[in-house]
Amino acid sequence: MGAKYHQSGSFLGSLMGHHKEAIVYSLAKLWQSNLSTWITLAAIAIALCLPASLHLLLQNLKSLTDDKREVPTISLFIKQDISEQRARDRGELLEELSQIDKVVLVPRDEALKDFRKITGFAETLETLDENPLPHVLVVTPHINLIGNPEEDMEKLAAKLNTYPEIDLVQMDIEWVRRLRSILRIAERAIFVISALLALTVLLVIGNTIRLNIENRKEEIKVSKLIGATAAYIRRPFLYTGVWYGLFGGVMSLVLVHLALLWFVGPVNELARLYGSTFVISGLSVATTFFILFASSLLGLVGAWIAVGSHLRSTKLEE
């Protein structure tokens, strides 16, 4: 019995034909399917939603911390017994340093005025005999001299601390650094959550495909009887898995963006109250594609696992 298969066209051509057939067939099956398919898709979408939205949250918090439009500053609190003139002189001397771009003196009286305006602590402040606020020098470092900002800022701060007039050096990036280290922990937490939810998606799709196989046992049997290869039988199921992953991914993106829309208003309001130019950002194109790719891959792997054990053997059990 000679090899008379692939009578028409090349091996590649017939393989492409097989894939096309499997794609069309699996899509048609999905399209015809019932409520349970939608429930499965929704479960996948929700499972994917969580890591995606956590990622988005993290992304936004990060963008809040590396806002390049605001150059970090260092506040130098001058000792109480130092006169305004001496503070001003110190400021002028500091301005000559190469690392420093600009020094602005905020005299204690001006600071008090501003403080009254901003906080509504007016009455409380009235009760004090004297102004509790020190003179402050606001130092803007030379941003282009700063290669490794955090380290250089720290060095500069240490240097500034050695001047006798200065009581306290406070870097504005302190909170940024703290937040960043918190975010680094959050990043790991999200990774763990993502891994667990990816496993959930894998199991959901795997189980769906397994039921699918169960429902189409007869078809598989007949296909085997008339000489279908394991790959041929496996293919539509693998594509079904990919579709579940892909469509679940699309649904999760829609959900995330709907949620985002709901957040935009309040977040902008909050940003305005803080006088920040912060704007909430959505998922980047790269992230969007990554989510779709990852979810499709999960679908493929889930289907592969479900199909693998079932179809490996070409034997038939009647």
Interaction site with other proteins (CB under 8 A)? 1, 3-9, 11, 13-15, 17-18, 21, 218-219, 221-230, 232, 313-316, 318
Please, which residue, 1 or 35, has the CB nearer to other proteins? 1
Please, which residue, 10 or 85, has the CB nearer to other proteins? 10
Please, which residue, 4 or 68, has the CB nearer to other proteins? 4
In the complex, the smallest distance separating the C-beta of residue 282 from other proteins, rounded to whole angstroms, is: 42
What tokens appear for 50 in the block?
């969580």
In the complex, the smallest distance separating the C-beta of residue 210 from other proteins, rounded to whole angstroms, is: 20
In the complex, the smallest distance separating the C-beta of residue 38 from other proteins, rounded to whole angstroms, is: 21
In the complex, the smallest distance separating the C-beta of residue 208 from other proteins, rounded to whole angstroms, is: 19
Please, which residue, 5 or 293, has the CB nearer to other proteins? 5
Please, which residue, 72 or 236, has the CB nearer to other proteins? 236
Please, which residue, 7 or 34, has the CB nearer to other proteins? 7
In the complex, the smallest distance separating the C-beta of residue 255 from other proteins, rounded to whole angstroms, is: 33
In the complex, the smallest distance separating the C-beta of residue 311 from other proteins, rounded to whole angstroms, is: 11
